[in-house]
Structure 1
Amino acid sequence: MIQDNVKIHDNFSLEIKSIYENISEKKKTTYNTLTYLFIPNGLNINNQTYPKTKFYNDVKVYIRYNASEYTIDEILNLKTGPLHQLIKIVKKISGKKVSKKNKLEFESRVKMLGAILNNTLRIATSFLKENRKLDTDFSIDFFKKLKKVLVIYRDLVESIEGLKIDEELKNIIKYGDEYISNIINYYLIDWLEYYKISNIEKELLKEVITFIKEEQTYRKAQNFDVTNNKDFFDELLFHKRSQLKKFIESVLFLNRDIRKDGAFFEQSVFAVAAGLAMIFSTGIAFYYQQVYGNFTLPFFIALVVGYMLKDRIKASIGLLFVSKANSFFYDFKIKIKDSGTNLIGIIKENFTFVPFNKLGPKVKKHRLKNKFITADYNLMGEQIIQYKKKIVIYPKKFGEEISDNRLNSIVDITRINLYRFTTQMDDPKKEYSLLKKGKIINRVGNRIYHVNLIQKLYSEKGVEFKRYLVIMNRKGIKRIEPVELDVL
């Protein structure tokens, strides 16, 4: 199963986040995705101006485990859950000399609790917004349980502080405390904003405000957000929070070993091409040597012509391979490994421009839906980028490094920077005139461009299509709108 969404990452980048589940514990799981970008011809993006090298410079891919899903009750009570696993390793490092293995496990448990709690709060927030009529008692009970998690964790911080162990270990659990405080503060404010526009009881509103104030008091006491007076724009504060987020969530990160796909076969073809060209050239040389003998003008001319043809034969076979390689090979093969160098999976990716008539019939129909002009499609003119991925997940070593039996999926975050698309755009504001009550009125309107994005997702459960409309101007991406597709 593929969970997929597209959103704005920054002014010029869109983010495609795909979650691939490891379905089988014995067999590998395979997914294929095709992403099409339909770009107006006026933006001057084509196979001449936008080759593979530029596209891959504009694409960033991040691969990590997807944090396991736990309810707040399971975090508190489940003996195999992340909180009790952290308590267990704290007891280990409290009673004896800390081994390297225990240090690594302690760091991993602190990070894992932070990452899982973040996921729990994210799911709870989505549930809150999707189910507007929530029971007040249920919400208040959730806050009480969340506070209980904080009390247990901060008791562990105090117990670690009193031990005669490396300062590095003390700092790790403090970093976890600050990270957890950051995410709780973030989601509480999100809930408060939602509560203010919803018709909720005053008791619940008071409860969340009290929780936020309590957490802010604790943060101030711990000097979490202290910066110097020169940090007027909170640069250091944001940088610190960013580094902290990366540190805690690094427990989910996976390493990428990127190599060109089909490199061995490519070199083999080039070697065969060189051999065939050499056979041809040598054959010509032997033949004319027998006919005209050595050191004659015809023999000399035959050698020169043979060398010229040899060079062209080798180059032509090489070009033929390159032109046909897209049908058999991808551009890159990425081996996904955990920190213990276990092979988790493989991702292959390929970029190319494709003509409209080479698209599948369903992709064509989905693209032609909601046309603004009913004229022939080719008259409208678009360049089409096809970005293809193949994802294979190997179950044997999946999650072995983390030892979490609920870990069942990886996240592929692909960010595509569209800045190059904006260089040929008109000014974002355009003047136009209209006649109103006998007077000419000059007005200013927004000049926008539409980049259509269609995804074709293959999984073991079948094929799924999604379409998004990326609305842009020269200043960047204004918004992304999902397009509802017809059932074909």
Structure 2
Amino acid sequence: MIQDSVKIHDNFSLEVKSIYENISEKKKTKYNTLTYLFIPNGLNINNQTYSKSKFYNDVKVYIRYNASEYTLDEILNLKTGPLHQLIKIVKKISGKKVSKKNKLEFESRVKMLGVILNNTLKIAIPSLKDFGKSNVAISIDYFTKLKNFLSFYRGLVGIIEHLKIEEELKKTIKYGDEYMSNSINYYLIVLLDYYKIINVEKEILKIIISFLKEEQAYRKIQNYDLTSEEDYFDETLLHKRSQLKKYVEGVLFLNRDVRKDGAFFEQSIFAIAAGLAMVFSTGIAFYYQQVYGNFTLPFFIALVVGYMFKDRIKASIGLLFVSKANSLFHDFKIKIRDSGTNLIGVVRENFTFVPFNKLGPKVKRHRLKNRFIDADYNFLGEKIIQYKKKIVIYPKKFGEEISDNRLNSMVDITRVNLYRFTTQMDDPKKEYSLLKKGKIINRVGNRIYHINLIQKFYTEKGVEFKRYLVIMNRKGIKRIEPVELDIY
């Protein structure tokens, strides 16, 4: 099963997030995804102006584990849960000399608890929003449990700070404390804003505000939010939080070993081509040597002609391979490994331009839905980028480094920068005139461009489609709208 979303990452980048589940514990899990970008002809994006190297320069891929799902009750009470796993390793490093293995496990447990809590809060927010309208008591109970969790964790922080261990380990658990405080602060503010809009009872607003103030005071005491007066735009604070986020969430990230797909086969073909060309050239040389002898003009001409044909034969076979390679190989083969170098999976990716008539019938129908002009597609004109991914997940080593029995999926985050698409766009504002009550009125409207994105997923449960409309102008992406597709 694939969970997928497309959103704006920054002014010029869209983020495609796909979650691939590791379905079987014994067999490989396979997914194929096809992403089509339909680009207006006027943007001058085609196979002459937009090469593979430019595309891959504009695409940034992150692959990580998807954080396991726990409820707050399970985090607090489950004996095999992340909090109790951290308690166990704290006991280990408290009673004896700390081994390298225990250090690594302690760091991993702190980070895992942080990312799991963050994921727990993210999942709980929609329910808490509803409870704010329907059952305030449940929301209040949730905040009480959240405070209990912080009290429990900060008790472990106190234990670690009094141990005679390396300062690095003491800093690790403090980093976890700061990260979780930031996460709680973020989601509490999201809830507070929402509760104010829907006018919930003042009691719950007071509780959230009090919680936020307590956390702010705590972070100040711990020097977590320490900034100088000169840091007027909070550059240092935001940079520190960004680094902290990368440090803690780095426990989920996987290493990518990127190599050209089919490189060995390609070099073998080139070697065979060179051999065949050499056989041809040498054969001509031997023949004319026997007929005309050495050091004669005809023999010299035969050598030159043989060399010319040798060069062309070698190049022609190479070009033939390159032209057929897209159907045989992908552009890159990416081996996904965890921090322990265990092979988690393999991703193959391929980029190409495709004509509209080469698309599947369902992709065509989905693209032609909701057209502004019911004209022939070729008349409207678009260039189509096809970005193909083939994903294989190996179950044997999946999640072994983290040792979390609920870890069952991998996240592929692909960011596509569309800045090159804007270079040929018109000004974002355009003047036009209209007649109103007998007078000509000049107005200014927004000049926008539509880039359609269609995704086709091959999973073990069948084929799925999704379509999004990316609306942008020269200043960047304005919004992304999902398009509802017909079921055939």
Shared fold per TM-score greater than 0.5: yes
1:301 corresponds to:
301
Shift of 1:217: 1.6
The 5 A counterparts of 1:52-451 are: 52-129=52-129, 133-451=133-451
CA distance in 1 between counterparts of 2:443 and 2:134 reads 47
Secondary structure of 2:10's match?
Answer: coil
CA contact (8 A) 2:128 2:139 kept: no
CA contact (8 A) 1:43 1:422 kept: yes
CA contact (8 A) 1:344 1:397 kept: yes
CA offset digits 1:15-50 (Å, max 9, x no partner): 000000000000000000000000000001000100
CA distance in 2 between counterparts of 1:430 and 1:185 reads 43
Partner AA of 1:444 in structure 2: V
Shift of 1:292: 2.1
Partner AA of 2:251 in structure 1: V
CA offset digits 1:28-73 (Å, max 9, x no partner): 0000000000000000100010000000000000011000000000
CA distance in 1 between counterparts of 2:440 and 2:129 reads 47
CA contact (8 A) 1:335 1:346 kept: yes
1:482 corresponds to:
482
Identity of aligned residues (%): 83
Secondary structure of 1:357's match?
Answer: helix
Secondary structure of 2:467's match?
Answer: strand
CA offset digits 1:240-273 (Å, max 9, x no partner): 0000001101111110100000000000000110
CA distance in 1 between counterparts of 2:358 and 2:129 reads 42
CA distance in 2 between counterparts of 1:146 and 1:132 reads 16
Shift of 1:294: 2.0
CA distance in 1 between counterparts of 2:383 and 2:100 reads 55
CA distance in 2 between counterparts of 1:350 and 1:130 reads 43
Please tell me the root mean square deviation across aligned C-alpha atoms, in Å.
1.1
2:465 corresponds to:
465
Long gaps (5+) in structure 2: none
Structure 1 pair 130/355, CA: closer, same or farther in 2 (3 Å)?
A: farther
CA distance in 1 between counterparts of 2:129 and 2:33 reads 30
CA distance in 2 between counterparts of 1:163 and 1:273 reads 68
Shift of 1:134: 4.0
CA distance in 2 between counterparts of 1:296 and 1:126 reads 90
Partner AA of 1:281 in structure 2: S
CA contact (8 A) 1:41 1:382 kept: yes
Shift of 1:285: 1.4
CA offset digits 1:259-307 (Å, max 9, x no partner): 0000000000001101111111111112222222222212211111110
2:40 corresponds to:
40
CA distance in 2 between counterparts of 1:277 and 1:71 reads 68
CA distance in 2 between counterparts of 1:321 and 1:102 reads 52
CA distance in 1 between counterparts of 2:127 and 2:289 reads 85
Partner AA of 1:175 in structure 2: Y
After the TM superposition, which of the residue ranges 316-325 and 88-97 deviates more from structure 2? 88-97
Shift of 1:210: 1.7
Structure 1 pair 65/189, CA: closer, same or farther in 2 (3 Å)?
A: same
Shift of 1:121: 0.4
CA distance in 1 between counterparts of 2:125 and 2:273 reads 61
Secondary structure of 1:231's match?
Answer: coil
With normalisation by structure 2, the TM-score equals 0.99
Shift of 1:346: 0.4
Shift of 1:130: 6.8
Secondary structure of 1:9's match?
Answer: strand
After the TM superposition, which of the residue ranges 163-172 and 31-40 deviates more from structure 2? 163-172
CA distance in 2 between counterparts of 1:281 and 1:356 reads 44
Shift of 1:13: 0.2
Secondary structure of 1:226's match?
Answer: coil
CA contact (8 A) 2:422 2:474 kept: yes
CA contact (8 A) 2:132 2:195 kept: no
CA distance in 1 between counterparts of 2:42 and 2:407 reads 46
CA distance in 2 between counterparts of 1:199 and 1:381 reads 50
2:2 corresponds to:
2
CA contact (8 A) 2:43 2:423 kept: yes
CA contact (8 A) 2:131 2:139 kept: no
1:13 corresponds to:
13
Secondary structure of 2:45's match?
Answer: coil
CA distance in 2 between counterparts of 1:99 and 1:143 reads 37
CA contact (8 A) 1:35 1:453 kept: yes
Shift of 1:393: 0.3
Shift of 1:202: 2.4
After the TM superposition, which of the residue ranges 198-207 and 88-97 deviates more from structure 2? 198-207
After the TM superposition, which of the residue ranges 469-478 and 225-234 deviates more from structure 2? 225-234
CA distance in 1 between counterparts of 2:99 and 2:297 reads 82
After the TM superposition, which of the residue ranges 429-438 and 405-414 deviates more from structure 2? 429-438
CA contact (8 A) 2:33 2:455 kept: yes
CA contact (8 A) 1:128 1:134 kept: no
Secondary structure of 2:443's match?
Answer: strand
With normalisation by structure 1, the TM-score equals 0.99
Shift of 1:132: 7.2
Could you list the structure 1 runs, at least 4 aligned residues long, displaced by more than 6 angstroms after superposition.
Answer: none
Shift of 1:133: 4.3
CA distance in 2 between counterparts of 1:147 and 1:130 reads 21
After the TM superposition, which of the residue ranges 90-99 and 345-354 deviates more from structure 2? 90-99
